[in-house]
Structure 1
């Protein structure tokens, strides 16, 4: 990759649970991956109502999408994670599962975790959007 990516956590800001407050890209091309849903290759929902299984599927789908554009989780500049819950513990459970997954390096970028009321598919509990610096 020719783009230089710098991640920063200024000491004047609060400590984070793994993400960086700032991600700077010096140069390169950018890809915006659509929200990765917990759907299998046939378009069927995986793990209806099961947050852990859905996160595993979302991570697998995100890794597939990254590979298609020649990128790795380390090339991710920004993540937005949507979880259908208003409960703080559920949100932290989702964060921990993602940071323990093969997608974990992507979450060291500037990341936002949101608790929301509903996603597109009945039974869907999680979705992840990625912004990626592409190799030249």
Structure 2
């Protein structure tokens, strides 16, 4: 079994706190663990302040960038966890629109949506982590 700890330059730089991606290779399978993706650009600037729809779109784009950095795509994702600050049922539409753009395929990953009081930094409204599996 081999483990790789990655911090791709196209994602926010958190390497002093955690790895953006950890991959584990065993035989012909690679499991990919993605840290929570948020609406921050590669210079760690928040995108879409006070706008859940815009933050959801950007967080899903960061998820796609993270997957692409290890040769994976959203079709390889088997599990998502979505954390939403001060979640309300009205938020479903805003998040679902960004989700369906990122995951247009028939076979969708298992997912859990959680309302939380706060996220890591002030202003972040949504965070999305994922697990993916692919053959190598």
Normalising by structure 2, we get a TM-score of 0.72
Indicate the structure with greater helix content.
1
Q: Provide the residue aligned with 1:76 in structure 2.
A: 77
**Separation of aligned partners in 2, 1:127 and 1:105:** 22
RMSD: 2.0
1:85 aligns with 2:82: no
Distance 1:80 1:121 in 2: 18
User: Shift in Å at residue 103 of structure 1?
Assistant: 4.0
The answer to whether 1:63 aligns with 2:64 is: yes
Judge conservation of contact 2:52–2:94 (CA < 8 Å) in 1: yes
Instruction: Write the deviation string for residues 40-83 of structure 1: whole angstroms up to 9, x where unpaired.
Output: 11101111111011011101111100001110100001000001
Q: TM-score w.r.t. structure 1 length?
A: 0.72
Query: Relative to structure 1, is the Cα distance of residues 98 and 74 closer, same or farther in structure 2, using a 3 angstrom cutoff?
Result: same
Unpaired stretches in structure 1, ≥5 consecutive residues? 1-26
Partner of residue 39, structure 1: 40
Contact 2:60–2:99 (8 Å) recurs in 1: no
Greater RCO (CA < 8 Å, at least 6 residues apart): 1
| Contact kept in structure 1, 2:53 and 2:98, CA below 8 Å | no
Partners of 1:98 and 1:106 in 2: how far apart? Answer: 16
Indicate yes or no: 2:122 matched with 1:122. Answer: yes
Unpaired runs of 5+ in structure 2? 1-27
